[in-house]
Structure 1
Amino acid sequence: MIRNLLNQTHVSETEPEPSRRRFLKAGLGACTLLTLPMAATSVHAAIKRPFEKKLSFLNLHTGERTRATFWANGRYIPEGMRAINHVLRDHRTGDRFAIDPDLFDILHQLQYRLRTNQEFHVVSAYRSPATNAKLAEQSGGVAKNSMHTHGKAIDIRLPGRKLSDLRAAALSLQMGGVGYYPSSNFIHLDTGRVRFWGG
């Protein structure tokens, strides 16, 4: 009799288990069905609105401006690069040079870090060897083989932002060189090794 009671107890404990499993499976199935439209919507949105990288510049010497998409759909955009290269040319000679795309990526990361899409005010970008040689004669602070002559450096400021904040944000990226020139109101950025100077 005790054995029969134990058997009955065992059966009553295990009977609800299959129905509990069915309930859980049904619940999980419903959750999966609910998330499918959301997943499809997010994929559709990604296809409809591809990720883009844009930059804006004002050349302080020529007064020229550009806002261009330089990267989209996983590749650099030649038209956008050309538009930026034109504005960042040597304003003294008119010489143009293909600016290193890594420099654009640094500027885009800086823009993201500062949570802004303001245009960068450009003090100096590409410099022809002739221009750089003249500047090196006039100032000891200009390197003879400056990265500006290779399209790998830019000197900028950002209106409405403290230069010290701009420098701090650039340093936090740990991407390339950062020079600080508070007396001339600009910072230097380049695609060389991580280093900093000035101030």
Structure 2
Amino acid sequence: MSPRAPAFVGVSDHAGRAIFVTVLRSGEAVDRREVPLVGEGLPAMPHHHEGQKLPIDEAVALVAKVRASARAHAKEALETLAGTVDVELEGVALRALPSLPPTVAERITDYRAMCVADWVMYREVIADAATQRGWRVTHFEPARALDDAAAKLGRALDPLFDDARARFGPPWRKEHRMAMAGAIVAST
């Protein structure tokens, strides 16, 4: 049996869900999927929305509940991915984490923090799930990801994006391209 090709998973997260694009070192995308990161009945943005309407103790408890759900969903999503793709997954590439105050209460009450705290929470639980699998975790800067990926491969990305769009069909949006570029940056 020949060894499976090494690959990296680029992740683009938004509002309780994540796009995973699995990419070989050559830049070829071999899998694309969207996964939920929170259970039904739970809010996707507890720091930014629901937590703003609650007393702080209740808001902190709500964030803890959503984080626990996200942790379980991230673990399950990576386990499912690993069991269904015919490649050797080496790691995940996530958008960079902005700095935040140390406590959940501060993240809820600080305006700038509450605007990004939910996204950071999702990236952290995906990173934790990947680390538990023994995978490498890297972070990329979204503003530079496309240029960095093209530079790493030494060629334009549009043909790779076109191939991926043809292979997977719609939807194929900016967030898919961003996840793919992040995986390319991480895997080469």
Q: TM-score range by the shorter chain?
A: under 0.3
Higher RCO, Cα 8 Å, sep 6+: 2
Q: Give 1 or 2: higher helix fraction.
A: 2
Larger radius of gyration: 1
Query: What TM-score does the superposition give when structure 2 sets the normalisation length?
Result: 0.24
Query: What TM-score does the superposition give when structure 1 sets the normalisation length?
Result: 0.23
